């Protein structure tokens, strides 16, 4: 029998969940008939009596001060419409395991299963069934993972009989049949399918479903990086593969601080006192497009596991997030079939990142949000993580024959299957239905316990090698770790969330919160003891062999046997043509501004410029107690900083700096200079905070539409820009990721391609955090100095142009060698202690940077536009690698910055206004309060 407990807020206590849903209904859906929403948590328990359910409610589920509970009785009787929403059976519900564990801790025996759901009551006199249907389909229920509960379930136990391993008759298939087999699941082209067919022809047998699935996973774009490893033909000449260019440049630089680059789950650089820091940035675009909460959660969880799986195990100390969406007020008529509204996507992605990081105690402290209408079909969701570990533990050991294959952490389910292949294909109107099983819901508490166990095991010297179960699950984790030796696993040993999984599903499942370790047999006992102490499940799946094969059994029957050589080296290298054609965009005539107040406010309220503080405040960026420079500072703690600085070694002055840069609009105009801009902004953000770029490293993330010849040409130029930037500045790329599937194809023939995204992340070390700088103005009467090389006529892609309705062609053309000089000069000034404030110039130009410095410091500014400069270009040009610096009144900028261009453009004032003159004439005088309200308003309207 199932016992049901419902928990609701007492009368007079705010129902925050209900208020949030009501806001979404009114604002995102425009439905005004719903006047109030009340919610209740529903908990179900199978295998206990009613009095035990009451005990659970009293001790665990309801807080008596402000909540009321009922057992096996409804709590809503006066609402016109009541509905319940739950995860579908088989979808990870993170609360279920916690309910079972808590019941056991309370001494309640016999509990067989537990589950939870949400119940919603809608109030209003004019609510129609069509309103409720729209609320269900557009807001409350994501059909990939959730459903409306029509009646209480008869059982919570999932029954199932494991599917049989089948043989795929591949050798007899013609080309059409091979492509049909690949469609929707394998995402391999005909050449790749024929290579597989020929391989099994040589073996004289057909593959099992396990074998065909693991080959597709290993050879997917997501895992195999086929485009980045391809031979490129550009203008009739062969160029080195994209990935090789990046790696060769890093190797040629031979940076003394780099300890590991492009060979592990994250890149590693030296820190201080025998410690190292590491960083990895990933994308989770495809899952987030169809289930944004779960997609973002598992994106965070996955990149955290990349850090935990670096070397012999690292501690995660920071999380970052960079998002690209369509505008949240985009009309529903512009949303393609099979896609979700950007307002919903934005809020749910933010919630996913928030819940995973906050619950694990990992600070989310650096990020950005960007908007463009061409992200309306598929968003870009980038998540990063950074960690710390002993330098001597930064390289993995090599599994030895006889070492055990140990799986630890969460159990294996059907969630996440085909995640690697699904993420490698284009999105269509069918994606949300066909690939629903690729979506997962994360369980951060499970991952936290596992990480604690891993760090203890590392300290005890128990780990030979470790990696995470990311894309491809056991298939990729064990396959990669055993690539030099071979491995044999028994799939029936894997702990399952529920019965009924076929062997190939166990092999390929991407269920979250799992790691795989190589452990010497003599160390297994101590490892399992540690895991029991942290309530972490650990199982021996098999062993590493010396035969060079990856084999798997299921109940003693061999269901897979593939040579590691074919699995990892059999993928044919692609030969691809690249030819980018420079587009031509209309250019505006820049007329003198007639209303500077309106113009400034329009720029500051533009979605790519406005304050993102309402998002940042949802994240805990101070947990772990390491924040030396937070995301927001100033007199009211609402002035944005350019980078964040942590002190990961408590009690020491050593700092770790984290920053990033991207600008998709510029890549549409010219991917070479747009990519230089992204790299320059990433480094400029850190340098503005006082970092030395010579003690920093870079991470690249290329998020591209499906690469046809023209877009591959754009990608080729973007990689060239990264190479040129790295060579000129001496800053190596040590990690990266490519995601080349952000194209939507509608069944009506419509095609939507995202603007190409290059996100460059930077991280490094700082000797003394007391010499770092924030952006907020500190003192009235200080000099405001513009530092750096810029041509203000280069306005294409700027927010100012976008406001005028143009894109333009003449974008900022950065020179990496000159940037190097600027970075050196600004850091020298910061290290001397003379810089009082510093802010880099990016979206919104000098105007936005100046306003933000004023907002942070609670001070105004008096600006003089240099003679010969057009005021609109002077204020709104967006040349990355330029800075606004606050210097003491008597300082000599020329002596401080040397040969780098520097111009005093004004001074800070003890007044709440920004004024500007040119040739002695007053251009404008603007109230800071008005500007700040315009700057803060957009995200406040989305995140109330």
Candidate list 125, 199, 222, 372, residue with the active-site label: 222
Q: Is 556 annotated as a binding residue?
A: no
Q: Is the pLDDT of residue 418 over 70?
A: no
Q: Is residue 326 part of a domain?
A: no
Q: Is 778 annotated as a binding residue?
A: no
pLDDT band at 430 (very low <50, low <70, confident <90, very high): very low
Are 183 and 123 found together in one domain? no
Q: Is the pLDDT of residue 404 over 80?
A: yes
Return the CATH number at 73. Answer: 3.30.1280.10
Q: Is 510 annotated as a binding residue?
A: yes
Which of 53-62, 260-269, 504-513 shows the lowest mean pLDDT across its residues? 504-513
Q: How far apart are CA 812 and CA 796, in angstroms?
A: 7
pLDDT band at 440 (very low <50, low <70, confident <90, very high): low
Are 200 and 67 found together in one domain? no
| Length of the chain in terms of residues written | 944
CA angle 317, 318, 320 (to 5 degrees): 165
Are 47 and 101 found together in one domain? yes
Q: Is 700 annotated as a binding residue?
A: yes
Q: Is the pLDDT of residue 439 over 70?
A: no
What is residue 786's predicted lDDT score, i.e. its pLDDT?
A: 98
Which of 168-172, 432-436, 799-803, 842-846 shows the lowest mean pLDDT across its residues? 432-436
Q: What percent of the chain has pLDDT over 90?
A: 82
Q: Which helix (H) or strand (E) holds 615?
A: helix 613-616
Which of 45-49, 113-117, 225-229, 372-376 shows the lowest mean pLDDT across its residues? 225-229
Q: Is residue 185 part of a domain?
A: yes
Are 101 and 209 found together in one domain? no
Q: Is the pLDDT of residue 425 over 60?
A: no
Q: Is the pLDDT of residue 428 over 60?
A: no
Which of 228, 260, 275 is the endpoint of a domain? 228
What is residue 186's predicted lDDT score, i.e. its pLDDT?
A: 84
Are 36 and 136 found together in one domain? yes
pLDDT tens per residue, range 740-774: 888 998 888 889 999 999 999 999 999 999 999 99
Task: Locate all alpha helices (DSSP H) within 361-489, ordered by sequence.
Answer: 419-422, 431-434, 444-459, 474-481
Check: CB of residue 212 under 8 Å from CB of residue 223: no
Q: Is the pLDDT of residue 880 over 60?
A: yes
| DSSP state at residue 865 | E
Q: Is the pLDDT of residue 419 over 60?
A: no
Are 99 and 131 found together in one domain? yes
pLDDT tens per residue, range 131-166: 999 999 888 987 777 899 999 999 998 887 888 899
Q: At 798, list the tokens.
A: 């700027």
Q: Is 126 annotated as a binding residue?
A: no
Q: Is residue 178 part of a domain?
A: yes
What is residue 164's predicted lDDT score, i.e. its pLDDT?
A: 87
Closest CA to 298 of 377, 355, 379, 244: 355
- Let me know if 222 is a catalytic residue: yes
Q: Is the pLDDT of residue 433 over 60?
A: no
Q: Is the pLDDT of residue 641 over 50?
A: yes
Work out the average pLDDT over 350-369: 95
Q: Is residue 729 part of a domain?
A: no
Report phi then psi at 71, rounded to 5.
-120, 120
Which of 20-24, 72-76, 350-354, 795-799 shows the lowest mean pLDDT across its residues? 20-24
When divided into structural domains, the chain yields a total of 2
Q: Is the pLDDT of residue 557 over 70?
A: yes
What is residue 222's predicted lDDT score, i.e. its pLDDT?
A: 73
Work out the average pLDDT over 428-456: 73
What is residue 240's predicted lDDT score, i.e. its pLDDT?
A: 95
Check: CB of residue 702 under 8 Å from CB of residue 243: no
Q: Is residue 25 part of a domain?
A: yes
The average confidence (pLDDT) of the chain is 93
Are 24 and 124 found together in one domain? yes
Are 63 and 180 found together in one domain? no
CA dist 314 → 449, 466, 508 (Å): 14, 11, 26
Are 210 and 127 found together in one domain? no
Q: Is residue 139 part of a domain?
A: yes
- Let me know if 443 is a catalytic residue: no
pTM: 0.93
Check: CB of residue 863 under 8 Å from CB of residue 906: yes
Q: At 286, list the tokens.
A: 């495809």
Are 12 and 141 found together in one domain? yes
Candidate list 225, 255, 284, 555, residue with the active-site label: 284
Q: Is 739 annotated as a binding residue?
A: yes
Those residues with Cβ within 8 angstroms of residue 744's Cβ, 6 or more apart along the chain or in another chain: 336, 339, 377, 378, 426, 427, 428, 750, 751, 752, 753
**What residue numbers bound the domain in which 217 lies?**
170-228
Q: Is 802 annotated as a binding residue?
A: no
What is residue 137's predicted lDDT score, i.e. its pLDDT?
A: 87
What is residue 143's predicted lDDT score, i.e. its pLDDT?
A: 77
Are 52 and 189 found together in one domain? no
pLDDT band at 514 (very low <50, low <70, confident <90, very high): very high
Q: Is the pLDDT of residue 609 over 90?
A: yes
Q: What is the 3-state secondary structure (H, E, C) of 244-279?
A: HHHHHHHHHHCCCCEEECCCCCCEEEECCCCEEEEE
| DSSP state at residue 770 | G
Q: Is residue 300 part of a domain?
A: no
Closest CA to 496 of 560, 541, 436: 541
Q: Is residue 618 part of a domain?
A: no
Tally of CB atoms within 10 A around 569: 9
DSSP secondary structure letters along 327-382: -TT--GGGSPTT---HHHHHHHHHHHHHHHHHHHT--EEEEEEEE-GGGSSS-EEE
Q: Is 226 annotated as a binding residue?
A: no
Check: CB of residue 218 under 8 Å from CB of residue 224: yes
pLDDT tens per residue, range 787-818: 999 999 999 999 999 999 999 999 999 999 99
What is residue 424's predicted lDDT score, i.e. its pLDDT?
A: 44
Work out the average pLDDT over 599-622: 97
Closest CA to 841 of 814, 802, 803, 870: 814
Which of 117, 148, 179 is the endpoint of a domain? 148
Q: Is 832 annotated as a binding residue?
A: no
pLDDT tens per residue, range 685-740: 999 999 999 999 999 999 999 889 999 999 999 999 999 999 999 999 999 999 98
Work out the average pLDDT over 848-877: 96
pLDDT band at 352 (very low <50, low <70, confident <90, very high): very high
Q: Is 280 annotated as a binding residue?
A: yes
Q: Is the pLDDT of residue 472 over 50?
A: yes
Are 37 and 135 found together in one domain? yes
Q: Is the pLDDT of residue 436 over 80?
A: no
């Amino acid at each position: 029998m199932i016992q049901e407990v419902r928990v609701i807020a007492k009368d007079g206590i705010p129902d925050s969940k209900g208020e949030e849903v009501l806001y979404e209904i009114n604002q995102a859906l425009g439905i005004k008939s719903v006047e109030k929403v009340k919610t209740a948590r529903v908990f179900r328990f199978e295998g206990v009596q009613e009095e035990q359910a009451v005990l659970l409610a009293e001790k665990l589920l309801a807080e008596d001060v402000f909540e009321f509970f009922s057992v096996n009785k409804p709590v809503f009787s006066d609402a016109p419409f009541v509905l319940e929403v739950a995860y579908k059976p088989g979808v990870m519900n993170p609360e279920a395991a916690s309910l079972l564990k808590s019941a056991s801790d309370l001494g309640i025996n016999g509990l067989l299963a537990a589950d939870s759901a949400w119940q919603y009551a809608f109030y209003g006199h004019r609510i129609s069934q069509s309103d409720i249907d729209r609320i269900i389909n557009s807001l409350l229920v994501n059909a990939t993972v959730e459903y409306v509960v029509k009646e209480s379930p008869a059982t919570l136990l999932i029954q199932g009989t494991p599917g049989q391993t089948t043989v795929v008759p591949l050798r007899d298939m013609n080309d059409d049949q091979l492509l049909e087999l690949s469609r929707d699941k394998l995402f391999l082209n005909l050449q790749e399918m024929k290579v597989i067919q020929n391989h099994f022809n040589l073996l004289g047998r057909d593959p099992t479903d396990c074998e065909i699935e693991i080959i597709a996973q290993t050879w997917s774009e997501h895992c195999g990086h086929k485009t980045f490893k391809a031979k490129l033909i550009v203008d009739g000449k062969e160029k080195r593969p994209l990935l090789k260019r990046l790696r060769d440049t890093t190797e040629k630089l031979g940076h003394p601080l780099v300890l590991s680059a492009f060979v592990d789950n994250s890149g590693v650089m030296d820190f201080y006192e025998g410690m190292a820091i590491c960083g990895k940035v990933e994308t989770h675009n495809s899952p987030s497009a169809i289930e944004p909460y779960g997609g973002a959660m598992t994106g965070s969880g996955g990149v955290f596991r990349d850090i935990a799986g670096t070397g012999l195990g690292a501690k995660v100390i920071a999380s970052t997030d960079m998002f690209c969406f369509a505008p949240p007020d985009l009309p529903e008529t512009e949303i393609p079939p099979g896609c979700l509204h950007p307002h919903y996507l934005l809020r749910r992605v933010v919630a996913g990142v928030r819940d995973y990081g906050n619950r694990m105690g990992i600070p989310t402290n650096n990020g950005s949000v960007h908007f463009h209408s061409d992200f309306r079909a598929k968003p870009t969701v980038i998540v990063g993580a950074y960690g710390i570990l002993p330098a001597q533990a930064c390289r993995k050991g090599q599994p030895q024959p006889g070492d055990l294959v140990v799986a630890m952490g969460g159990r294996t389910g059907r969630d996440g299957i085909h995640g690697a292949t699904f993420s490698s294909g284009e999105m269509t109107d069918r994606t949300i239905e066909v690939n629903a099983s690729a979506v997962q819901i994360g369980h951060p508490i499970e991952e936290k316990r596992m990480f604690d166990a891993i760090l203890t095991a590392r300290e005890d010297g128990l780990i030979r090698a470790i990696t995470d179960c990311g894309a491809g699950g056991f298939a990729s984790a064990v396959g990669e770790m055993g690539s030099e030796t071979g491995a044999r696993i028994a799939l029936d040993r894997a702990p399952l969330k529920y019965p009924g999984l076929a062997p190939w599903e166990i092999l390929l499942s991407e269920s979250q919160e799992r790691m795989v370790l190589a452990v010497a047999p003599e160390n297994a006992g101590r490892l399992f003891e540690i895991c029991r102490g942290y309530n972490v499940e650990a199982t021996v799946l098999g062993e590493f062999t010396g035969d060079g094969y990856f084999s798997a059994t299921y109940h003693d029957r061999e269901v897979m046997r593939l040579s590691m050589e074919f699995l990892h080296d059999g993928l044919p290298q692609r030969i691809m043509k690249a030819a980018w054609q420079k587009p031509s965009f209309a250019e505006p005539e820049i007329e003198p501004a007639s209303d500077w107040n309106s113009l400034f406010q329009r720029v500051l309220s533009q979605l790519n410029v406005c304050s993102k503080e309402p998002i940042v405040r949802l994240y805990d960026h101070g947990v772990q107690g390491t924040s030396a420079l937070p995301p927001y500072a100033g007199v009211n703690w609402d002035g944005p900083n350019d980078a964040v600085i942590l002190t990961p070694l408590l009690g020491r002055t050593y700092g770790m700096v984290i920053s990033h840069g991207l600008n998709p609009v510029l890549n549409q105009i010219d991917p070479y200079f747009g990519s230089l801009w992204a790299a320059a902004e990433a480094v400029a953000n850190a340098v503005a905070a006082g970092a030395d770029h010579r003690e920093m490293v870079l991470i690249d993330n290329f998020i591209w539409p499906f690469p046809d010849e023209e877009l591959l040409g754009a990608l080729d130029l973007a990689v060239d820009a990264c190479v040129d930037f790295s060579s000129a500045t001496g800053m190596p790329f040590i990690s990266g990721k490519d995601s080349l599937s952000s194209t939507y194809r509608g069944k009506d023939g419509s095609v939507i391609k995202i603007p190409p995204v290059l996100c460059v992340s930077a991280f490094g070390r700082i000797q003394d955090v007391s010499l770092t700088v924030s952006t907020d103005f500190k003192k009235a009467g200080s000099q405001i100095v513009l530092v750096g090389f810029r041509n203000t006529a280069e306005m294409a892609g700027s927010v100012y142009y976008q406001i005028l309705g143009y894109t333009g062609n003449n974008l900022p053309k950065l020179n990496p060698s000159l940037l190097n000089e600027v970075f050196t000069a600004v850091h020298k000034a910061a290290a001397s202690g003379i810089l009082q404030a510093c802010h880099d110039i990016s979206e919104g130009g000098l105007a936005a940077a100046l306003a933000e410095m004023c907002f942070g410091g609670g001070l105004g500014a008096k600006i003089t536009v240099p003679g010969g400069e057009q005021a609109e270009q002077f204020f709104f040009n967006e040349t990355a690698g330029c800075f606004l610096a606050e210097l003491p009144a008597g300082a000599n900028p020329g002596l401080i910055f040397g040969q780098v261009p520097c111009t005093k453009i004004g001074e800070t004032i003890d007044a709440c206004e920004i004024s500007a003159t040119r040739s002695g004439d007053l251009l404008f005088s603007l109230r800071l309060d008005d500007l700040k309200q315009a700057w803060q308003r957009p995200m406040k309207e989305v995140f109330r």
